[in-house]
Structure 1
Amino acid sequence: MFAITERLLLRPGWIEDAPALSRAIGDHAVVRNLARAPWPYALGDAEHFLAMPQRHDRPHMLIFRREGATPELIGGIGLSDGVNDTPELGYWLARAHWGRGYATEAGRALIAACDETLRLPHLIAAHALDNPASGRVLAKLGFRPTGEIGRMHSLGRGGEMDVRGLIRPRFARGEAVADEQAAPLAA
């Protein structure tokens, strides 16, 4: 899956991206908000991530900024298995690119592509309570709080983090449909 927006290119990662990936994500302020990324994040971690096979219904893409002469790897976005195998949206951006709308732009592109091709019934997401900026991004993407606060393990923190659960209502013909079964957070 590929997506092009006004400022971004989203595409699958290739092994040749490993050095740029390890540099972009190699910041504790970034990794501490992720569940599966280890700290410190080394070149071998990037190579391992990029070599992992992907499921067609759980795409992972790297985010490249296209505003310069050469695209610059600035983040990642994708779907993984959440609670009860519900597709869960996750993303990250290199700190130098926070606050510029890139996460929202990438999220909109991925969700549009998934709505068009995968027709997933709904998406879930979670954000660390001490990362309210991520909550604002998710709200812009149509996610709403489930009302659940839980704890999630974070390799980057070396322990647990408090998270708020969110769900993006399913869409039918472009209109939101209420979802009575919000997926619970992992305890």
Structure 2
Amino acid sequence: MFIRSERLFLRPGWAEDWQDLLATIADETVVRNLAHVPWPYGAQDAQAFVAKPQDHLLPRFLVTLPGPDGARLIGGCGISLLDGEVNLGYWIARGEWGQGYATEAARAVLGLAHALGHHRVVAHHFVDNAASGRVLEKVGFRRTGRVAERFSQGRGFASPSREYEVRFESDGDCDGDDAMNRRRAA
């Protein structure tokens, strides 16, 4: 499965991507904001990530930025199950922060989640990462009011995490309708 957004190309990870993935995510500043990525992040972690089989209902993507010399890996975005709920997760390399790439990738994956028939998607961010909360709000998420301690492999300890959700009013479709217009807060 592939997604093309305005500036980005989202695609599955391939075995040969492990070195680019390692070079892009092996930054403690990035990893400390993620719950399920260990620090330090090593070659075996990158190889294991790209070797994981894809789930067509819970796809995950490498986020690439096409350019004249090919597409450059700048992050990751996808959906997974977390405590039985569909969960959106994303990360962008530190050198690419502040350019709207996280928002663009999250919006694209959220549109796919709706098209796949998911009715509710949750997302979380550690409270000391307010930028991630702004990304979630830009793509249609609303705070649920829940803040809970979540363990971060990158931090090595639990930290307060704010929960967000988005609900889709209608079933997903692939006919080009703007999924953003069909989202509502719970």
> Could you tell me the TM-score, scaled by structure 1's length?
0.90
Q: Which residue of structure 2 aligns with residue 176 of structure 1? A: 183
Question: Unaligned 5+ residue runs, structure 1?
Answer: 180-187
Residue aligning to 2:138: 140
Question: In the alignment, is the contact (CA less than 8 A) between 1:7 and 1:67 conserved in 2?
Answer: no
Whether contact under 8 Å (1:142, 1:169) holds in the other structure is no
What CA deviation, in whole Å up to 9, does each residue of 1:122-178 have, x standing for no partner?
100000100000000000111000001101110100111111000012231753355
Range 127-136 or range 74-83, more displaced: 74-83
Task: Please name the residue that 1:128 is paired with.
Answer: 126
State whether residues 3 and 9 of structure 1, in contact with CA within 8 Å, keep that contact through their aligned partners in structure 2.
Answer: yes
Q: Extract structure 1 runs of 4+ deviating beyond 2 A.
A: 173-179
In the TM superposition, residue 82 of structure 1 has moved relative to its aligned partner by 1.6
Contact kept? 1:124, 1:168, Cα under 8 Å: yes
**1:88 alignment partner, SS class:** strand
What CA distance in whole angstroms lies between the structure 2 residues aligned with 1:160 and 1:178?
Answer: 27
What amino acid does structure 2 have at the position aligned with 1:108? R
Letter paired with 2:154: G
Aligned ranges for residues 24-173 of structure 1 at < 5 Å? 24-83=24-83, 85-116=84-115, 118-172=116-170
Q: Distance in 2 between matches of 1:176 and 1:114?
A: 12
Q: For this pair of structures, how many residues does the alignment match?
A: 177
Query: Could you tell me how far apart the structure 2 residues matched to 1:138 and 1:177 are?
Result: 13
User: Which digits, 9 at most, give the CA deviation of each residue in 1:89-118, with x for residues without a partner?
Assistant: 0000000000100011111111112222x1
Q: Is contact 2:166–2:183 with CA below 8 Å preserved after alignment?
A: no
Are 2:140 and 2:183, in contact at CA under 8 Å, matched by a contact in 1? no
Does the 8 A contact of 2:166 with 2:185 survive in 1?
no
Contact 2:63 2:105 in 1 (8 A): yes
Gaps of 5+ in 2: 172-180
% identical aligned pairs: 45
Give the TM-score of the pair, scaled to structure 2. Answer: 0.91
